[in-house]
Structure formats: C-alpha cells, structure tokens
Amino acid sequence: MLRIFVFFFLVQTVIFSVSSPPVSISDDQRIQHASQTLNALQRLLDFFENDAKDINPDGVFCLRVAQGQLNALSQSLDSSTQLTDQKHIIQSFSTRIDRIVKKSIQQLVDTDSAYFKRFSRLISREFVVEYRPRKLNQTLIERNQEKDSFFDAELSDQCFSELLSQMNAPSCSISNLCWKKMTAQMTSSYRLTHQLLWLLIAQDVHCQNADLVSNRSYLEDFFCANIYEDANFNINNHICQDLFLEQLLLCSVIGYEEFLRSDWLGTILTWQDPQYNCFNNASEVSISSRHLLVEQIMAHECLSHKSGLAAGVLATYARYYLQ
Ligand SMILES: *[C@@H]1O[C@H](CO)[C@@H](O)[C@H](O)[C@H]1NC(C)=O
Ligand SMILES: *[C@@H]1O[C@H](CO)[C@@H](O)[C@H](O)[C@H]1NC(C)=O
Ligand SMILES: CC(=O)N[C@H]1CO[C@H](CO)[C@@H](O)[C@@H]1O
C-alpha cells in the first residue's frame, strides 16, 4: 500500500509534472491508470532482475517489445509540453530491461544454443514497430465459421527465420509457402497471433517485400478485428490468460487502442502475484516444444513468457496513457 502510494505520489507530482492543471477528470484518470501500470511494471522488473538467468528467449523477446514501447514513450515525453518525466523514470525502466536482457542472454548463449541462435538477432536490441492509432474494422470479422487453430510451430519458426535472415537486406523475398500460411484466413488462437507477429517481425527487420508492403495495412486490420473477438471471448470466459496477453500486446503495439481497455487492465493487474510480482498460474501451461513463444517455468513457479508478455502489455498501456 505504501509503495503504491509513494509511486503514485511520484508519478503525479515529480515525474510527470503537468504544466497546466488537468482540464478534465479523464486526464486525472489517465495519470492514475498510468501510475498503477508503472508501479506494476516496476515490481515485475524487480522479479525479472532477481531471476534473469532463467528467462527463456521468448521472455527476452517480450522484454525487448516492452523496451521499444518505453523508448517511444520516453521520446514523446521529451517533446511533450504537458507532461515531464523529471526523474527520467521511463528511461530508467528501459535501461533496466537492457541490463536484465544482457544478463539472460549471457546465460542463453551457453544453454540454449540452437534455438537461441535462430532468434539471437531478433532479441539483440529493442523491438520497434510503427504505432498508428486506428480503429478496428468490424466488417472484417469472420463469424460463425469453423476456424483452424492448429499451430505448426516448426513452420512458424521457419517463416520467422526466413525474415530474420534478410534483416536490413535491400530486397526481401518471401516463399510461397510462408506467404500462404502467414496470410491464411479462418484461423484463431496462437495460430492467428503468430500470423500477426510474423507481419510485425517483417517490419522490425525492414522487409520491403512489395506484396507485404502493399497488403500490410489490410492484413493488420483483418488479423486484429478477429483477434479482438478471440480475446474478448477468452477474458469473458476466464480462460487462456497467456494467449489473451499475447493478443492484447500484438494488436496494441501497432495502435489498435480499443484493446487498451481500462477494465482489462484492472483484470490483468489481479493476475500479478502479490508476493513474487511475476505472472504465474502454471495450471494453464503446456510446454510442448522449444519454439518461439513457448513457456518456461522460473523461480516460484513464475512463467517466463507470460511475465514477459505482461511487461510488454504494461509498457504499452503506460505509453497509451502518457504519450
Ligand atoms: C473495412 O473493411 C472493408 C472490407 O475490406 C472495407 O471495404 C472498408 O473500407 C473498411 N472500412 C474502413 C473504415 O477502413
Ligand atoms: C488460472 O487459469 C485458469 C485457466 O485459465 C483459470 O480458470 C483460473 O481462474 C486462473 N487462476 C488465477 C488465480 O488466475
Ligand atoms: C499476394 C496478395 O495477396 N497480394 C495482394 C496485395 O494487395 C494488392 C492490392 O491491395 C492486391 O491486388 C494483391 O492481390
């Protein structure tokens, strides 16, 4: 309680000094939500810092996504006339993530070589995608149809590798198989989120493939309209917390702000372990294979991927409230 109060106090009066008095209740609420979010993120980073050696590549990747969001927020605060991050808290969180990730990468180099090597370029730096605030397009929702949730992890990894091997290359080729699988309709669950993730990774590695560039905006609209339906179902039925966090993270980092609902934030905050500050609930976990976005159990039954996703989600909410 004290801690929340202290942080809240800092956020309101020191870190984010508002140049003019808040004009509406909603400005006030925004600051309040942001302080709750940053407080939760700070505790989560405490957890990661204490157990950095046990974070798997998937958890590291999510922390890089969180870092990208924090860096973008920090830049926007630097040029803001309304809010000032006087103690550079946002930048210090980003620096902290960098330190945590470097520690865990040192460990991964030794213990997880093949899988780690495949994705080492992806997690060597912050993850950056364009944030463009936009609305969901309801007409793109595929209703009352049988969807395919089968997730072929090997194929998915292969298509991610295809992109990563062309990082910053002047031209970028995509195999027919990957294009077909990664843009297929009528999919759901992790299969669907990984189709979107593939698009985001393409952007992060600056893949300038013509088909991809001309269809990106439509595909993002299509994926996120359907992911929203899926996410809403999961949270309303109290199932699949990890999948829900992944759905929220991937669509919100590119600007589908309808995902950043304050009632959803409230629910997510209740999932954080009050003692260990991580995200756990191992009853949901199925550790099938070592492919991108798989789970690993850390100290105190904490979950690496789920806690990483939560870090990304909290950073994205903070950006949304403060930028
Ligand atoms: C929504 O998607 C439909 C179908 O692709 C398209 O015709 C329409 O222009 C889109 N609406 C918006 C607002 O983008
Ligand atoms: C753990 O996950 C299960 C299945 O998703 C869910 O029903 C349960 O409420 C969760 N428990 C907590 C404490 O969140
Ligand atoms: C391969 C593919 O689906 N390409 C489409 C990309 O978008 C253009 C224009 O929007 C379409 O004409 C292509 O068919």
Mean pLDDT by 10 residues, the chain (323 residues): 38 51 67 95 96 89 97 95 89 97 91 79 94 97 85 89 91 96 94 96 94 96 97 94 95 98 96 94 57 68 91 98 94
Ligand 1 atom closest to 137 (CA): 1
Q: Does 213 contact ligand 2 (Cβ within 6 A)? A: no
Domain boundaries, the chain: 2-322
Phi, psi of 124 (to 5 degrees): -80, -10
39 close to 3: Cβ distance less than 8 angstroms: yes
Ligand 1 atom closest to 135 (CA): 13
**Long-range contacts for 73-79 (Cβ within 8 Å, ≥24 apart)?**
73/315, 73/318, 73/319, 73/322, 73/323, 76/319, 76/322, 76/323, 77/16, 77/322, 77/323
Q: Does 138 contact ligand 1 (Cβ within 6 A)? A: no
Q: List Cβ neighbours of 207 (8 Å cut-off, separation of 6 or more).
A: 163, 166, 172, 174
pLDDT of 169 reads 87
Residues 49-79 as b/e (b if ≥16 CB within 10 A, e otherwise) read: ebbbebbbbbbbbbbbbbbbbbbbbbebbee
pLDDT of 94 reads 98
How many CB atoms are located within 10 Å of the residue 170 CB? 7
pLDDT of 300 reads 79
- Nearest residue (by CA) to ligand 1, atom 11, is 137
DSSP code per residue over 249-261: HHHHTTTBGGG--
- The radius of gyration of the chain's CA atoms, rounded to the nearest angstrom, is 19
- Nearest residue (by CA) to ligand 3, atom 2, is 211
CA of 237 to the centre of ligand 2 (A): 10
Mutate to test the pocket of ligand 3, among 214, 219, 221 (most ligand atoms within 8 A of CB): 214
pLDDT of 41 reads 97
> How many angstroms separate the CA atoms of 307 and 323, rounded?
24
> How many angstroms separate the CA atoms of 189 and 126, rounded?
26
pLDDT of 288 reads 46
pLDDT of 99 reads 97
pTM (global) more than 0.95 = no
Q: List Cβ neighbours of 216 (8 Å cut-off, separation of 6 or more).
A: 199, 202, 203
CA of 235 to the centre of ligand 2 (A): 11
pLDDT of 174 reads 97
Ligand 2 atom closest to 239 (CA): 5
Q: Does 140 contact ligand 1 (Cβ within 6 A)? A: yes
pLDDT of 24 reads 53
